[in-house]
Amino acid sequence: MIASHLLAYFFTELNHDQTQKIDKYLYDMRLSEETLQEVSQRFGKEMEKGLGADTNPTASVKMLPTFVRSTPDGTEDGDFLALDLGGTNFRVLRVKVSDNGLQKVEMENQIYAIPEELMRGSGVQLFDHIAECLANFLDKLNIKDKKLPLGFTFSFPCHQTKLDESILVTWTKGFKCSSVEGKDVVSMLRKSIKKRGDFDIDIVAVVNDTVGTMMTCGYDDHNCEVGLIVGTGTNACYMEEMRHIDLVEGDEGRMCINMEWGAFGDDGVLKDIRTEFDHEIDMGSLNPGKQLFEKMISGMYMGELVRLILVKMAKEGLLFGGRLTPDLLTTGHFETRYISAIEKEKEGLQKAHEILTKLGLEPSHEDCVATLRICQIVSTRSANLCGATLAAVLRRIKDNKGVERLRSTVGVDGSVYKKHPHFARRLHKTVRKLLPDCEIRFVRSEDGSGKGAAMVTAVAYRLAAQHKARQKILEALKLSHEQLLEVKQRMRIEMEKGLGKETHAEAVVKMLPTYVCSTPDGTEKGDFLALDLGGTNFRVLLVRVRNGMRRGVEMHNKIYSIPVEIMQGTGEELFDHIVHCISDFLEYMGMKGVSLPLGFTFSFPCQQTSLDEGILLKWTKGFKATGCEGEDVVNLLKEAIHRREEFDLDVVAVVNDTVGTMMTCGYEDPYCEVGLIVGTGSNACYMEEMRNVELVEGEEGRMCINMEWGAFGDNGCLDDIRTEFDLAVDELSLNPGKQRFEKMISGMYLGEIVRNILIDFTKRGLLFRGRISERLKTRGIFETKFLSQIESDCLALLQVRSILQHLGLESTCDDSIIVKEVCAVVARRAAQLCGAGMAAVVDKIRENRGLDFLKVTVGVDGTLYKLHPHFSTVMHETVKQLSPKCEVTFLQSEDGSGKGAALITAVACRIREAGQR
């Protein structure tokens, strides 16, 4: 008993000594964690090089775009064919993908041989043979009459330009067909099929086997965004952000990159970690100096590395008693599968003995232990290096997404990964060590080159079908030039109705006279007060207008809040509060007791009968003060001033904010005769000839008309261009049926239109994988400012995703692109409609004056116009197209409701003084 224990102990010690001896001998092959981190970083830099347009030509890691833009989402459906050509055999497959809640894939396939003479014959013969085998397969399954989509796995180095176009760079793996290199393999296959004429298929995609691996796993695991192959050769692919891929146009979305990472190190970046054995293997290979990384890792070379080490150690008398045999000296005689056998837990040493004996050696126990250790070191290095580069890929994905922790899946295939007893475990361990802040799952791919090709095709089909369905829905929101001209003409008709005495009562565009009869001419001067009441806050301003050399406007203001109880109390309380605020302001400015002319911006619907009289028609925006509707607000203000008996003010003008906008810009630019607001709401005003303003006596001169154009369409004249989404937004608004034009163009509603479209898309399964979140059902959650943010050009899709996440919407990259497109369509239509309205206004001014050509400036204010990245551009273009005889300049107004009111007062005072003179 004790003897056997001693013996066991003796052997363990012996094994330990032998292992240490080998570890020392192969010290350079055992890579520390620091070295692996270093390799990982270098690989990251090589990836950058391959992606850059300037650096790609000299990069060793080519980073080829595959034009595969999306991974499966599980809703793929249909019948597909796949063709797999990558060696001496090729396969034809039929893959049925069904999504009835239970993702299911059924496959049938047939293997066909490629005779030796065809591999060396002409390209035409090769593709004719493939077409014939395809016909045979379709015959057998009785589906020759169907036109099925096909995915083509073509595992040779190719330069891809589209999903269905792939130029063969060079043949490998013993193929030498003439006149194929430099040509598109898809069009060659198409020609061969067309020539036969007995069947037709739709070749949708050419795929590399690595991409197929990622797609196959992606069907079962939607987090899968990396494909890895470690077999005879090695390669990887992953989903990269389009904005980083210089070689392909466009910045939206992602694309799978076929890295061709076997060539890592071909430019010398791995020379410090390559050993003498690596050099020897490279020198003896078919492609010296090429694929150096692959030669350190893949199945084709691993066995050979072990053989070279055994030979060298034997030559140095460290193994086999210094004996060499012809078998051991023959290249390729130590196969990679031997490594897997020798490293098996239980029977490893036994296997080592058998294999070495087969090579004509008489191995001792120590020789077997040493061989086992050599195998472990070679295969561990392979797994570690593979883990280091994979970690670089995953780190890049993590940085691209800007997340704290990355959760991702890697689809893996290849004999080394699948058959070696410890390779997978060691690879996972290295990745975990190098990326402690990531949760990475590894999934073994089943038939990536067959099923994968079909998956790429299925995804391409799904994307095309969904794209078509979405475009059909969005079509209704895209307005043609003819439609916009029609809107312009209708606006013109409604304007005429509003101006006419007979038609004014039933007109929807009210065309209210403002009694502002002149724009600034630059001679205005003096101190003016302005009040601005249009919401829950209220401003008092002192505006100093100078003329002459120091021409300009200097402003001081103070903001006061209006408590809810005052907004909803009595009119007396409201106006007493306003006067109290004016008194406080005058004291603050040290101007108590000074009597100044005052302009009052009162942004509620009013009917004016003179410049200083405005009858409140109805309160809006939450105001409910009693005893005001139907009264003149200037009177109410004057009475409150008298009640206070502290100061006296000369109320000169009541103004609407749109008119204020025109006046502010008119001070800077004498051509400014139009005001436009596109913010929360929308409205416009312009200078009309008095002879056309039938509601006011007098024919001479001009008067500014406050159009109140938001109500355009309330009589049904825009019904043919309103969509189901507009109707839905209108129905749920506070004033159904009213302000229809405003609801199609202004900031208050655009986000709601977008939200309704997104819900419709989701219900149809075209977005968010068909899942409607509770948040998306909430009215008003999609604020218009998000439209501006989402459409901003510098915004990566990443930020679009974070906006959507903030809204509780889990989105994929594709979803983000779709949301961005919907926002663009809705905002573009708004800008075009606004432009059509504007075109009607400027053309009316031109025709009023009998001019062939009009030069005019529009003063503009409003958050949508100022903050949205494309609104103003699209609107300007539309006006230019619809009113070619007008040269329209747009000027952004600064503080139309404050400064504007003061300028109107200044102009009125100037005219009054001139009249007195």
DSSP secondary structure of 885-897: TEEEEEEE-S-TT
Mean pLDDT on 427-441: 94
pLDDT above 80: residue 914? no
CA dihedral 562, 564, 565, 566 (to 10 degrees): 30
Strand partners, 546: 552
Tokens of 774: 């509770």
pLDDT bin (cut points 50, 70, 90) of residue 1 is low
Tokens of 362: 């008489």
* Residues 722, 717: Cα–Cα separation, whole Å: 10
Nearest one of 532, 622, 627, 620 to 582, comparing CA atoms: 532
By residue count, the chain amounts to 917
Nearest one of 266, 420, 435 to 345, comparing CA atoms: 420
Name the DSSP class of 884: T
Burial of 375 (0-12, 13-18, 19+ CB in 10 A): buried
Three-state secondary-structure class, residue 806: helix
Lowest mean pLDDT across 597-601, 691-695, 907-911 = 907-911
Tokens of 559: 């903001």
pLDDT above 70: residue 5? no
Greatest mean pLDDT among 12-16, 567-571, 619-623: 567-571
Only one residue has tokens 């090089």, namely: 49
Only one residue has tokens 């980083």, namely: 244
* Residues 217, 209: Cα–Cα separation, whole Å: 13
Q: Which of 42, 470, 539, 722 is catalytic?
A: 539
Going by C-beta distance under 8 Å and a sequence separation of 6 or more, which residues neighbour residue 339?
A: 302, 303, 306, 375, 378, 379, 420
Pinpoint the alpha helices (H) of 480-608: 481-499, 564-567, 571-588
The question of whether 539 is a catalytic residue gets the answer yes
Nearest one of 626, 606, 605 to 614, comparing CA atoms: 606
Query: How confident is the model at residue 351, as a pLDDT?
Result: 87
What mean pLDDT, rounded, does the chain reach?
88
Tokens of 808: 């509780």
The question of whether 872 is a catalytic residue gets the answer no
**163 vs 100, residue with greater confidence:** 163
Tokens of 693: 């303003």
* Residues 735, 7: Cα–Cα separation, whole Å: 96
Amino acid 125 reads Q
| Residue 221 to residues 144, 195, 225, Cα–Cα distance (Å) | 33, 41, 9
* Residues 825, 515: Cα–Cα separation, whole Å: 39
Please say whether the beta carbons of 123 and 98 come within 8 A: no
Query: How confident is the model at residue 426, as a pLDDT?
Result: 95
Query: How confident is the model at residue 793, as a pLDDT?
Result: 62
pLDDT bin (cut points 50, 70, 90) of residue 214 is very high
Nearest one of 559, 659, 579, 570 to 619, comparing CA atoms: 570
| Other C-beta atoms lying within 10 Å of the C-beta of residue 388 | 25
* Residues 827, 787: Cα–Cα separation, whole Å: 8
Three-state secondary-structure class, residue 514: coil
Only one residue has tokens 């791919």, namely: 445
pLDDT bin (cut points 50, 70, 90) of residue 462 is confident
Q: What angle do CA 781, 759, 863 make, to 5 degrees?
A: 40
Name the DSSP class of 692: G
* Residues 280, 291: Cα–Cα separation, whole Å: 14
| Residue 86 to residues 24, 93, 207, 244, 408, Cα–Cα distance (Å) | 41, 14, 11, 30, 29
Query: How confident is the model at residue 828, as a pLDDT?
Result: 96
Q: Which of 603, 788, 816, 893 is catalytic?
A: 603
118-125 contacts: CB < 8 A, separation 24 or more? 118/177, 119/88, 119/174, 119/175, 119/176, 119/177, 120/176, 120/177, 121/177, 121/178, 122/177, 122/178, 122/179, 123/177, 123/178, 123/179, 123/180, 123/183, 123/188, 124/179, 124/188, 124/192, 125/177
pLDDT above 90: residue 119? no
Lowest mean pLDDT across 54-68, 154-168, 495-509 = 154-168
Please say whether the beta carbons of 238 and 399 come within 8 A: no
Q: What percent of the chain has pLDDT over 70?
A: 96
Q: What are phi and psi of 451, to 5 degrees?
A: -60, -35
Nearest one of 382, 326, 379 to 348, comparing CA atoms: 379
Tokens of 240: 């990269």
Please say whether the beta carbons of 236 and 259 come within 8 A: yes
Mean pLDDT on 715-734: 93
pLDDT bin (cut points 50, 70, 90) of residue 101 is low
- 487-526 pLDDT tens trace: 999 999 999 999 999 999 999 999 999 998 888 887 888 8
**526 vs 485, residue with greater confidence:** 485
Lowest mean pLDDT across 230-239, 309-318, 386-395, 459-468 = 459-468
**101 vs 706, residue with greater confidence:** 706
* Residues 806, 822: Cα–Cα separation, whole Å: 18
| Other C-beta atoms lying within 10 Å of the C-beta of residue 740 | 24
Q: Give me the numbers of helices (H) and strands (E) for the chain, helices first please.
A: 29, 26
Lowest mean pLDDT across 44-53, 248-257, 684-693, 871-880 = 248-257
- 169-188 pLDDT tens trace: 877 766 788 999 999 999 99
- 801-860 pLDDT tens trace: 777 877 777 777 778 888 888 999 999 999 999 999 999 999 999 999 999 999 999 999
* Residues 388, 592: Cα–Cα separation, whole Å: 78
Strand partners, 653: 599
Three-state secondary-structure class, residue 534: coil
Name the DSSP class of 774: T
Q: What are phi and psi of 772, to 5 degrees?
A: -90, 120
Mean pLDDT on 600-605: 85
Name the DSSP class of 110: E
* Full strand arrangement of the beta sheet holding 597-602: 552-561, 537-546, 526-533, 597-602, 650-655
* Residues 897, 479: Cα–Cα separation, whole Å: 33
Only one residue has tokens 């950058």, namely: 48
Lowest mean pLDDT across 221-230, 269-278, 499-508, 647-656 = 647-656
User: What's the alpha-carbon Rg for the chain, to the nearest Å?
Assistant: 39
Query: How confident is the model at residue 815, as a pLDDT?
Result: 84
The question of whether 209 is a catalytic residue gets the answer no
Q: What are phi and psi of 48, to 5 degrees?
A: -55, -45
Full DSSP string of 238-288: EEEEGGG-TTSS--SSEEEEE--GGGTTTTSTTTTT--HHHHHHHHTSSST
Burial of 552 (0-12, 13-18, 19+ CB in 10 A): exposed
| Other C-beta atoms lying within 10 Å of the C-beta of residue 852 | 6
- 219-241 pLDDT tens trace: 888 889 999 999 888 999 999 99
Spell 173-188 as b/e; 16+ CB within 10 A means b.
eebebeebeeebbbeb
Please say whether the beta carbons of 900 and 706 come within 8 A: no
Query: How confident is the model at residue 478, as a pLDDT?
Result: 95
Tokens of 718: 């825009």
* Residues 873, 883: Cα–Cα separation, whole Å: 15
Query: How confident is the model at residue 7, as a pLDDT?
Result: 45
pLDDT bin (cut points 50, 70, 90) of residue 443 is very high
| Residue 528 to residues 546, 580, 651, Cα–Cα distance (Å) | 11, 18, 10
Mean pLDDT on 646-666: 88
- 893-902 pLDDT tens trace: 877 777 888 8
Query: How confident is the model at residue 4, as a pLDDT?
Result: 52
pLDDT bin (cut points 50, 70, 90) of residue 6 is very low
Q: Which of 128, 282, 576, 657 is catalytic?
A: 657
Query: How confident is the model at residue 33, as a pLDDT?
Result: 92
- 612-640 pLDDT tens trace: 999 998 877 778 899 999 999 999 999 99
| Residue 625 to residues 540, 599, 612, 628, 631, Cα–Cα distance (Å) | 20, 22, 21, 7, 12
Q: What percent of the chain has pLDDT over 90?
A: 46
